[in-house]
Structure 1
Amino acid sequence: MKRSLFTKLGSVALLAIVGLHGFDALGFLNLQAELLVLLRIIGTGIVAGFAWQQGKLSAWIFAALFIGAEVGIDAPGVAIHLDIFSKAFIQLIKTVVAPLLFGTLVVGIAGHSNFGQVGRMGLKALIYFEIATTIALFIGLVAINISQAGKGIQAPKNSISSKIELPGSAFSASVDSSKGTYVLNYKGKELSPAAPKIQQDWKKLVLHTFPENISKMVYEGAILQVVVFSLLFGFGVAQLPDRHKKIMLDWTEALTEVIFRIVGYIMYLAPFAVGGAIAYTMATMGVGVVGNLLKLLGTLYGALIAFVLLVFVPVLMICRVPIKRFFQAVYEPAMLAFTTASSEAALPKAMTAMEQLGVPQKIVSFVLPTGYSFNLDGSTLYLALASVFCAQAAGIELSWGTQLVICLTLMLTSKGVAGVPRASLVILAATVEQFQIPEWPIAVILGIDALMDMGRTGINVMGNCVASIVVAKLEGELNTSALEKQAIN
């Protein structure tokens, strides 16, 4: 009874606080700044009370969003140092990703010894990946062409290149003849060389798939290389005599159990990571960060919502997976990905959620990590949208033919950017350079890229969860009884 009363009163109070802020922002009220601060503190206290009442990790993650935003708005001097929580959380997660993938893949392959099924799963997964990412690219193109978010942006004066003549006496060079190197100086100051141009081609993409050093692939977080090595190791274990095979399987199963326990411990830090990330973002970028880029931000999130409604929902309906149950299952991993802007941070939680949803571990452990390189729905949609935005901002009219060529290019170059926050900017820079589009609009996007990265990363994780369900359904191994049981609960 007390809980129900607190929930009702708290909900009314929150609505009142939001309403007062809205009326103040619209100019209908002229509230004191101190009163607004007090109202926000009371609001975050109510949200924290809800989380305490629920006693669940997901509730605390949700509450951390509001608490972090409040700290970022009203205590920016403190908030700018709180990103250490999100950075520490991501680093801890990265330490367990490789052994987790290794253990689950080896057990899944060697434990069943069905090589034909692995091949079938890989083919079905890749076909789905390409269909989903292609649809994402076209939705991004259509959205940005409708909104025209890049139109009307003025190029910065220093973006126009011009020749500058300087007297030769102003330059000097320090030469090291033994090493064959030199340093160019201008008026006694060392000149920094231009950053190397980013080159992305199919050869590098293919070579990046194959590991050259176990330690290096783990250190660099090359997920696809870890998958390839784990597959080879699993095939090797499957060919061992039963006595040796049992030893290796027992060891990898024990390794997996230990890693999942470690993940459980790390997840207790998730609310701190989420709160710290939001607080830092609000403190460094401010509430009015969107400004003139609000249209671009709205275009991206509108396109992402359209993608969910046009792709995820129909696919789940075809697979006969309860839509509400699916979104409940992916809430925590998607929220982790959203707030930390890193898909890796959500991988262990996503794997657990899909297994609880009825997808076999062998399919989850194969499809999810593979999708992190080949099924980046949110990132590919963003890249198509952002590339055309840069052209619009620069006043360049791109024909639909050119935009389609950009899409085909992005289908290759966007692979494997899920592991690192805001790595999509690297691909965007390479794309605009390839199509002779000025790079200065990328600096404009940087102002809200953190907010955009949150959305696209969350969709990346959700997309791979859907992909695991699709493959399980096509393999006839989706555990519908588990879904029915959880729906009843």
Structure 2
Amino acid sequence: MAAPAAAVSPRRRRRFYHHLYVWVLVAIALGIVFGLVAPDQAAKTRWMADLFIKLVKVVIAPTIFATIVVGIAQMGNLARAGGLALRTVLYFNITTVFALGIGLVVINVLRPGASLGFDLATFDTSAADAAIAATESQDTGMTSFVLDLVPASFVGAFVDGQLLQVLVLAVLVAVAVTSLGARADGVVRALDTFAHLMFGIIRLVMWTAPLGAFGGIAFTIGSNGSAILGSLAAFMGAFWLTCLLFLLLVLGPVCRIAGFSVFRYLRYIKDELLIVLGTSSSETVLPRIMRKMEAAGAPRHVVGMTIPTGYSFNLDGTAIYMAMGAIFIAQAFGIEVPLTTQVALLAFMLVSSNGAAGVSGAGLVTLAATLTAFDSVIPVAGIALIVGIDRFMSEGRALTNLAGNGIGTLVIARWTGDLDRERLRAVLADPGSVDVDALLSADAPRPGEEQPVEPEQPVDPNPRVAPTEPASSAPAVHPAQTT
């Protein structure tokens, strides 16, 4: 009987310049220098980041659809799939509440906006016009959220790149496929092959990540300059500090309870963190993080359900940004927000922020939509204060969301008893043993799956002796020596 193919196997170490994260790191450094030295030219490089993000997004929706359908169908138990989905949504909403809470605590303690002293009557609000206009055409209530779960047509979700709608469609198709039983085996195999193909495309696209990272960082530095960074440095510093505190004080203990170290986990996903840092979007590494979580011991059905769901319901970074941004605006205009109003704001944000996790820039529009409902207390026009630095905040949001998404996957796998803890321990101890490029190959077996093995031939009880042939000059190869 053949042993399962291990996700972690001894292999020859690649030279440092063969690693994607090295080139992404170099691109980020060059982008920062270019943005400082030639800001006018750097401000025109956003197209590089946009091109990379579009290349990735074009395969994200079909990849998620195929992965979820195959994962649920292979579970063969709709009750189990429903329990997994419920635990996933429950876990992510609980962590979002903690993120909102820690954001409110830090912004009220540090009060970075209290010293600005702006007067709303003389404040230039033109920079907020675009964000406010984006909220006027949409309803941010619960009814709108529920209606937006269903696309106008089956292909509409894929055309528009609406991941939450793709998730709903995938679950419906998976339920239908499961109810067909053996008749749907061909459909499941076809979708599984299709998912492998999409991962193969992603493997090729990811090598353009340094280009996207360079363009994104250069644009951010060149278009904002140092003046706005200086005036709002306290708020940016408080936000990044809060994201770090959330990671260490909230997700750190969660990781410890689940049996692994948050620091080793962050080392394991360093490539993905660097790519997100350059592009400001966690969507760019969605296929890579899925493969890495499988390699770390989370089964395919858990990864297929949790990662895509997390991209709509895992709002840790976005929640921190929204909570801190709202109170910062109030502080900048000398407005004291009562505690009861802050709690109401927190509850409203928990609902209004759904769906904004993986989209670059969506946090600003969502914040504007939330403040519109509380405009009698906090002026929505104050959004103009943080429009200029939103790109820097977007990076922090995306990094926090990505880290929380992967942690949530491993925690839920442990919660359901499906986590391979030995494999997770081995992978986190030696992250270099996982070759994510090989895992993204279209023909690569999934971690933990058995390699195809030729069936053993039955032994003939009455073998016939074949005629003796002339000896060949080629050396004989014993089957045990083949590779």
TM-score range (shorter-chain normalised) is 0.7 to 0.9
Change (3 A) 1:61 1:398: same
Deviation at 1:465, TM superposition (A): 0.8
Change (3 A) 1:53 1:241: closer
In the alignment, which of 225, 238, 243 is matched to residue 178 of structure 2? 238
Which residue of 2 is the match for residue 202 of structure 1?
Answer: 142
Which residue of 2 is the match for residue 346 of structure 1?
Answer: 285
Unaligned stretches of 5+ in structure 1? 1-50, 162-192
Quick check: 1:290–1:448 contact (8 Å CA) kept in 2? yes
Quick check: 2:74–2:301 contact (8 Å CA) kept in 1? no
Letter in 2 for 1:210: V
Q: Equivalent residue of 1:152, what SS?
A: coil
Which residue of 2 is the match for residue 411 of structure 1?
Answer: 350
Letter in 2 for 1:61: V
Quick check: 2:99–2:246 contact (8 Å CA) kept in 1? yes
TM-score by length of 1: 0.79
Deviation at 1:76, TM superposition (A): 2.7
Q: Deviations over 1:145-201 (max 9, x none)?
A: 11111213223655499xxxxxxxxxxxxxxxxxxxxxxxxxxxxxxx987365310
Name the structure where helix makes up a greater proportion of residues: 1
In the alignment, which of 69, 92, 115 is matched to residue 106 of structure 1? 69
Give runs of aligned pairs for residues 50-89 of structure 1, distance below 5 A: 53-89=16-52
Give runs of aligned pairs for residues 353-372 of structure 1, distance below 5 A: 353-372=292-311
CA root-mean-square deviation: 2.0
Q: Equivalent residue of 2:188, what SS?
A: helix
Distance 2:291 2:203 in 1: 11
Q: Deviations over 1:28-86 (max 9, x none)?
A: xxxxxxxxxxxxxxxxxxxxxxx984421011111211011111111334322322111
Distance 2:323 2:35 in 1: 31
Quick check: 1:211–1:228 contact (8 Å CA) kept in 2? no
Which residue of 2 is the match for residue 115 of structure 1?
Answer: 78
**Which stretch has the larger CA shift, 260-269 or 438-447?**
438-447
In the alignment, which of 362, 365, 386 is matched to residue 445 of structure 1? 386
Q: Deviations over 1:225-282 (max 9, x none)?
A: 101101111111122252x322101110110110000000010001111011101111
Quick check: 1:343–1:460 contact (8 Å CA) kept in 2? yes
- Asked if 1:388 corresponds to 2:352, the answer is no
Q: Equivalent residue of 1:290, what SS?
A: helix
Q: Equivalent residue of 1:441, what SS?
A: helix
Distance 1:111 1:225 in 2: 22
Letter in 2 for 1:81: K
Which residue of 2 is the match for residue 224 of structure 1?
Answer: 164
Quick check: 2:330–2:336 contact (8 Å CA) kept in 1? yes
Distance 1:52 1:232 in 2: 45
Deviation at 1:321, TM superposition (A): 1.8
Distance 2:164 2:337 in 1: 34
Unaligned stretches of 5+ in structure 2? 1-13, 126-131, 434-483
Give percent identity, aligned residues only: 34
Change (3 A) 1:401 1:95: same
Quick check: 2:290–2:307 contact (8 Å CA) kept in 1? yes
Which residue of 2 is the match for residue 22 of structure 1?
Answer: none
In the alignment, which of 398, 420, 427 is matched to residue 337 of structure 2? 398
**Which stretch has the larger CA shift, 72-81 or 110-119?**
72-81
Deviation at 1:389, TM superposition (A): 1.0
Which residue of 2 is the match for residue 257 of structure 1?
Answer: 196
Q: Deviations over 1:321-377 (max 9, x none)?
A: 243431122222222223212221121121112111111121111111111111110
Quick check: 1:329–1:354 contact (8 Å CA) kept in 2? no
Which residue of 2 is the match for residue 155 of structure 1?
Answer: 119
TM-score by length of 2: 0.80
Deviation at 1:219, TM superposition (A): 2.0
Which residue of 1 is the match for residue 414 of structure 2?
Answer: 473
Q: Which structure exhibits the higher relative contact order, with contacts defined as CA atoms closer than 8 Å and separated by 6 or more residues?
A: 2
Letter in 2 for 1:149: P
Change (3 A) 1:383 1:471: same
